[in-house]
Structure 1
Amino acid sequence: MIEIPSYHAIAAMVVTIVMFVAFVRGRMSIEIISLLTIAVIAVGLYFFPLEGHKGIDGLEIAFGGFGHYALITICALMIMGRGLVVTGALDPAARFLERVFKFNVQLGLLLSLLIAFVLSMGVNNTPVLVLLMPIFVALAQRGALPASKTLIPLNAASLLGGVSTTIGTSTNILVVSIAVDLGMKEMGVFDFTPIVLMASLVALPYLWLVMPRLLPDNTVVNEAEMRRFHTRLRVAEDSALVGEDISTVLSRLPKNISIIDQPSGPIQPQQRLLLSGTHDALEDATRVLKGELAPSWVLDRIKREASSREQDILVVEMTVTADSRLINRTLPTSGIADLHGVAVLGIHRPDRIMGEKDQYSENGDLRIAEGDVLLVMGLPEDLQEFARSDSLLMLEGARELPRRSKALLAGIIMGVSVFTAAVGIFPIAISALAGAILMFVTGCVKFDRVGRALSARVIVLVAASIAIGRIIDESGAALWLGQTLGLGLQYLPPAMVLAAVMLFVTVLTNFASNATAATVGTPIAFSIAEQLGLPAEPMVLAVLFGCNLCYATPIAYQTNMLIMSEGSYEFKDYIRTGVPLVIIMVTTLSVLLVLRYEM
């Protein structure tokens, strides 16, 4: 016979349910709901302290999450993930993926899913998805699979990879840390990786072959083309073009590149080729052909200034107004580089008016006209001074150039941090914190940009989740829920018990917060294990897995929302593709846990 729970336990469950409902309704932001939850716990426990506690002890329970080592670890991993993104350390994988897609679409999709899966094992899946998502959108514009058929599978693959290690997602770290607080031994980084890999052998074919067929084609008809910029590529001494005829190297160039007035005869070092292409295509061309879009002395000066000022290099688009002194001038005669220390990489002008001869100088350089859009590279202050002095309108959407000189260093820091945690040299909290500090010290991540790496939403949500988890546990609510749930599960086989717990947590994580579901579900699973005489580790893993099966709703995880606008998805798209995947994973993981722990 189960006793009636205490008033504190009832209050803890009510606060938790109210928080879940508030998340689902979405009328207030996650940050506000999280802070209100912390405030309610703090005030409630101050005036109505737990048995054997003082009022001041309630404040430690409510606000202790902000100093919890799990939150520190999560923030450190966010910083290291930011370092990989801003240095371009992940770009080689992205470029390789694009080449494979050009060879075969289905093979490209399979490899992209595998890359997202593998990268997310050691890096938070959010920066991985941010890196790969533009590639899929661009490939869709070039006639490959529509973005609406690829982004949900890509997101699901990154979530699968994240669940395979303790550092793959912040939720994993949270579950493991709570389990350690409850008395279970700490898990290693790769302790449960084989289980997830085996389950993924069943899930990945569904992502690759079935899920794209369940998604609609949301391609926008007559979508506006990206701006094409006209420029001159300066052939370097060690370029692949030197000594070859231009017709033999056309196949190496990106599809969005056009060569205007193709030269005859072998190409010579320092020869200038007139090109037209999108910004991304021009960047690819400079990398493949080892050329420059501006004089090398200008680019070298910008890089030196960026290093001495410790600033990032930006590439922005600027529109030429009617008052600009640049009108009717060419880039060589404008003196832009000497006066302002910036480099103009190209000029955009509608193709329909590009054929007029008087638009070019005697040397074949394009004369700048009102309404042209200049693609300009430089430091922030220099770009603003250039726009102000020469009457240019700076457009939105400035891009920071990756600090590629730090890419290898950022990759080494991440790799060493993961390795030292994986082999048990240091706890993950220490190795991640050391890695984050090294990212700052070495300049891979700038301290004044740390706000871009950290998410205030994640921080307050994790803090509130830790507070909820502690009050659920210390009030006796977890024990009571475990006893109640255990009554219904005591006659079921272990596989069904694990599946029930996993499915229960999965429902919570798809309609509320996976972090909150983790902090509530972990002590409940621990209690059920004690009640039924089952080992605690597989029960905790059932919670960990369930918290990451957030495929069925767009509100379940931040990357679900991230892809929603790019893929023009509706709520039903997530349900149609996510529910079957949840069923596959719950069934497979439950059986594998039973076999692994011989239950």
Structure 2
Amino acid sequence: MPGIPSFHAMAAMLVTVAMFIGFARSRLSTEIVSLLVIAVIAVGLYFFPLPGTGPTDGLVLAFSGFGHYALITICALMIMGRGLVVTGALEPAARVLERVWKVNHQLGLLVSLLLAFGLSMIVNDTPVLVLLLPIFVSLAARGAMPASKTLIPLNAAVLIGGMATTIGTSTNLLVVSIARDLGMPPMNVFHFTPIVFAAALVAIPYLWLVMPKLLPDNSQEVIQSKRRFITRLRVPAGSDLVGKHLNEVLERLPDDFRFEERPSGPFEAGQRLRVSGTHDGLQEALRVLKGQVAPGWVVDRIRRDSSAQGEDVRVAEMVITADSRLIRRTLATSGIADLYGVAILGIHKPDRLLNTQPADPRGDIRLAEGDVLLVMGLPDALEDFARTDSLLMLQGAQVMPRRSKALLSTVIMFLSVGSASIGFLPIAIAALGGAILMFITGCVKFDKVGRALSAKVIVLVAASIAIGRAILESGAADWLGQSMAAGLQYLPPAAILAAIMLFVTTLTNFASNATAATVGTPIAFSIANQLGLPQEPLILAVLFGCNLCYATPIAYQTNMLIMAEGDYSFGDYLRTGVPLVVLMVATLSGLLVLTYGM
């Protein structure tokens, strides 16, 4: 039996338990708990240094997370993901998945989980999630399941898939290489894939049918229904619409768009038809119909000015006040485009019927107090228009995707992901290189990078790295391993495998995968020799345990990547992850016993 743990080991375990309780109770924010953990480690090791170290060495350990490659990698990956979003590069993939989700939300989720599982078998977990994350956020905005109900199941599917091959995660390679150094024969890429496939048959139904029900809907509450804007659809010469009938395009149009006027025959060049829809509906319909809702010359002018000034084009909603000169005018007589260089995309008339408005000889809509205009332009032009014509600009202006850079951002992302996946570059270097290219090429603006990063995730990563190092360097991990080994001799093989897996899982959820692998693999090898058991299943128990990192956001970097997008709390991971850990431990232990005849 191991002796009493050292003072530093006991302190490290107490701090870890306190951090866990602080996260689980949610009385303090994640950022505050994380900063408190870092502060306790820094102050504690300053006054009570680890053996063989000085006071300042403890400070280095406590704050090492802020300069750790894992944190830098996560930030770089978030920046690249932001680049795909703001350039609209993921819209085609989102539309394909959206068609599946439109058939049935449950079918869409199942297809998505299987896609994530399959990709992560051959591509590192983190790049797979980085590619899928913005797509699912976009799908949530388009009316699919809320992001908070899909991202944790998606992440779990990625982690399970990554467990299926030796190249699925860097941790798998680490365990296999340590085992080979200890004298075990090498394992090929698909050596244990059938075991994981069998476990996935049990886990995927839980991810698909149960996990979303355990998660909250963290999407922002919509106080009122989305505004519908009335506008004129212009059919330009050369449009794909020319010569087609309405019935030929209706099935391709979004649900939140409709024709208020139906053409009597096929579409003709120069035709103007009254349509209505939400902002998103109008955008999607214009893409499908290749039409316009504002004069082409002003839209082209806005885009030229945007390119020349390096400013993003924005779309804002503005309310006409009682003092505005626009009241009782039409868009044609207002001169807005000439005066301000902005384009009016649509008009929303709350609580009014169109046929109660004064008629205009040309059939145009007359503006009235309280109408909401959907306006596109550069920031300065929008502010000038609102100030001069007495309009109230509503909050939440949207940045128009810079689609001219969509292909470029996609190439950068795939070069970065691909070079990391085949092992040409470490993931940290590949991600940093991709982020730098996103900046240099203008896919992501320097002044907008703050939107891509989450302070909560940054502080949480730093705290988790610090606590992981404290557990390892204080000797707490070694003491726990020796204590566990002393009692395993009395258990049946399945229980021994489950105990090893749970031990490594605990380490990986509160320290790191690398810590769990480096500590757990030699312990499992030693236990196998002492108890006369085959070495391979016990080593695989360590490998599987390192990948069962579902129960806390600090367990793996992909858990942290989804935390901000899903607006998750620590309790969300516990509530959904602990049952999955128990399910996977029981299933994998049984499968290992059957496979190796133990």
Alpha-carbon contact 2:117-2:160 (below 8 Å) kept: no
Q: Partners in 1 of 2:108 and 2:217 — Cα distance?
A: 18
**Code of the aligned partner of 2:523:** I
After superposition, give the CA deviation of every residue in 1:500-523 in whole Å (9 maximum; x if it has no partner): 3444566788xxxx5656587556
Q: Partners in 1 of 2:162 and 2:221 — Cα distance?
A: 41
Say yes or no: does 1:300 pair with 2:300.
Answer: yes
Say yes or no: does 1:132 pair with 2:100.
Answer: no
**Code of the aligned partner of 2:156:** L
SS at match of 1:365: coil
Alpha-carbon contact 1:82-1:445 (below 8 Å) kept: yes
Out of 152, 156, 159, which is 2:149 matched to? 152
Match of 2:53 in 1: 53
Determine what percentage of the aligned residue pairs are the same residue: 56
Q: Partners in 1 of 2:220 and 2:399 — Cα distance?
A: 28
- My pick for the range that moved more, 429-438 or 122-131, is 122-131
Q: Partners in 1 of 2:417 and 2:595 — Cα distance?
A: 25
Q: Partners in 2 of 1:55 and 1:456 — Cα distance?
A: 28
After superposition, give the CA deviation of every residue in 1:241-291 in whole Å (9 maximum; x if it has no partner): 201233443333223222123232332223222101111111111011101
Out of 545, 548, 560, which is 1:546 matched to? 548
**Code of the aligned partner of 1:437:** I
Match of 1:144 in 2: none
Q: Partners in 2 of 1:473 and 1:573 — Cα distance?
A: 24
Q: Partners in 1 of 2:24 and 2:214 — Cα distance?
A: 25
CA drift of 1:401 comes to 1.6
Q: Partners in 2 of 1:416 and 1:537 — Cα distance?
A: 34
CA drift of 1:447 comes to 1.6
Change over 3 Å in CA distance of 1:295–1:578 after alignment to 2: same
Q: Partners in 1 of 2:469 and 2:105 — Cα distance?
A: 49
Alpha-carbon contact 1:238-1:290 (below 8 Å) kept: no
Say yes or no: does 1:81 pair with 2:85.
Answer: no
Match of 1:329 in 2: 329
Alpha-carbon contact 1:257-1:277 (below 8 Å) kept: yes
* 1:198-209 matched pairs, under 5 angstroms: 199-208=199-208
CA drift of 1:373 comes to 0.8
SS at match of 2:89: coil
CA drift of 1:117 comes to 5.3
User: Runs of 5+ in structure 1 lacking a partner?
Assistant: 141-146, 167-171
Q: Partners in 2 of 1:313 and 1:222 — Cα distance?
A: 25
Q: Partners in 1 of 2:460 and 2:191 — Cα distance?
A: 26
**Code of the aligned partner of 2:158:** G
**Code of the aligned partner of 1:529:** A
**Code of the aligned partner of 1:301:** R
Change over 3 Å in CA distance of 1:11–1:581 after alignment to 2: closer
Match of 1:286 in 2: 286
After superposition, give the CA deviation of every residue in 1:188-218 in whole Å (9 maximum; x if it has no partner): 9x99995766643443344445667899999
Change over 3 Å in CA distance of 1:453–1:251 after alignment to 2: closer
Say yes or no: does 1:354 pair with 2:354.
Answer: yes
- My pick for the range that moved more, 315-324 or 240-249, is 240-249
Change over 3 Å in CA distance of 1:516–1:362 after alignment to 2: farther
CA drift of 1:319 comes to 1.0
CA drift of 1:230 comes to 0.3
Match of 2:418 in 1: 419
SS at match of 2:366: coil
CA drift of 1:134 comes to 5.9
- My pick for the range that moved more, 208-217 or 100-109, is 208-217
Q: Partners in 2 of 1:102 and 1:64 — Cα distance?
A: 46
Q: Partners in 1 of 2:417 and 2:192 — Cα distance?
A: 14
Change over 3 Å in CA distance of 1:446–1:29 after alignment to 2: same
**Code of the aligned partner of 1:27:** R
- My pick for the range that moved more, 100-109 or 475-484, is 100-109
- My pick for the range that moved more, 534-543 or 298-307, is 534-543
SS at match of 2:463: helix
After superposition, give the CA deviation of every residue in 1:322-361 in whole Å (9 maximum; x if it has no partner): 1111111111221112222211110011364211251x42
Match of 2:260 in 1: 260
CA drift of 1:371 comes to 0.6
Change over 3 Å in CA distance of 1:516–1:377 after alignment to 2: farther
Alpha-carbon contact 2:151-2:566 (below 8 Å) kept: no
Q: Partners in 2 of 1:260 and 1:368 — Cα distance?
A: 18
* 1:405-416 matched pairs, under 5 angstroms: 405-416=404-415
Change over 3 Å in CA distance of 1:597–1:479 after alignment to 2: farther
CA drift of 1:3 comes to 0.9
Match of 1:169 in 2: none
Alpha-carbon contact 1:468-1:520 (below 8 Å) kept: no
CA drift of 1:53 comes to 1.6
SS at match of 1:232: strand
User: Runs of 5+ in structure 2 lacking a partner?
Assistant: 164-168, 529-534, 554-558
Match of 2:439 in 1: 440
Change over 3 Å in CA distance of 1:257–1:55 after alignment to 2: closer
Q: Partners in 1 of 2:383 and 2:26 — Cα distance?
A: 40
Change over 3 Å in CA distance of 1:592–1:334 after alignment to 2: farther
Alpha-carbon contact 2:234-2:291 (below 8 Å) kept: yes
Q: Partners in 2 of 1:301 and 1:400 — Cα distance?
A: 17
SS at match of 1:547: coil
Match of 1:525 in 2: 520
State the TM-score, normalized to the length of structure 2: 0.82
Change over 3 Å in CA distance of 1:464–1:573 after alignment to 2: closer
Change over 3 Å in CA distance of 1:234–1:500 after alignment to 2: farther
Match of 1:484 in 2: 483
CA drift of 1:542 comes to 3.3
Q: Partners in 2 of 1:508 and 1:12 — Cα distance?
A: 13
Alpha-carbon contact 1:35-1:464 (below 8 Å) kept: yes
SS at match of 2:78: helix
Match of 2:556 in 1: none
Say yes or no: does 1:343 pair with 2:347.
Answer: no
SS at match of 1:236: coil
Q: Partners in 2 of 1:395 and 1:541 — Cα distance?
A: 53
Q: Partners in 1 of 2:191 and 2:411 — Cα distance?
A: 24
Match of 1:22 in 2: 22
Alpha-carbon contact 1:72-1:429 (below 8 Å) kept: yes
**Code of the aligned partner of 1:16:** T
Match of 2:531 in 1: none
Match of 1:475 in 2: 474
Alpha-carbon contact 2:137-2:565 (below 8 Å) kept: no
Q: Partners in 2 of 1:218 and 1:75 — Cα distance?
A: 23
Say yes or no: does 1:392 pair with 2:391.
Answer: yes
Q: Partners in 1 of 2:390 and 2:97 — Cα distance?
A: 41
Q: Partners in 2 of 1:468 and 1:138 — Cα distance?
A: 40
Aligned residue pairs, count: 572
* 1:223-234 matched pairs, under 5 angstroms: 224-234=224-234
Match of 1:143 in 2: none
Say yes or no: does 1:238 pair with 2:238.
Answer: yes
- My pick for the range that moved more, 323-332 or 525-534, is 525-534
Alpha-carbon contact 2:156-2:550 (below 8 Å) kept: yes
Q: Partners in 1 of 2:264 and 2:255 — Cα distance?
A: 21
Change over 3 Å in CA distance of 1:581–1:302 after alignment to 2: same
After superposition, give the CA deviation of every residue in 1:443-463 in whole Å (9 maximum; x if it has no partner): 111122222222222222222
SS at match of 2:249: helix
Q: Partners in 1 of 2:107 and 2:370 — Cα distance?
A: 43
- My pick for the range that moved more, 47-56 or 238-247, is 238-247
What is the aligned-residue RMSD (CA, Å)? 4.2
**Code of the aligned partner of 1:288:** V
SS at match of 2:548: helix
After superposition, give the CA deviation of every residue in 1:445-500 in whole Å (9 maximum; x if it has no partner): 11222222222222222222222122211111111111112223345466544533
Alpha-carbon contact 1:466-1:519 (below 8 Å) kept: no
Q: Partners in 2 of 1:498 and 1:334 — Cα distance?
A: 77
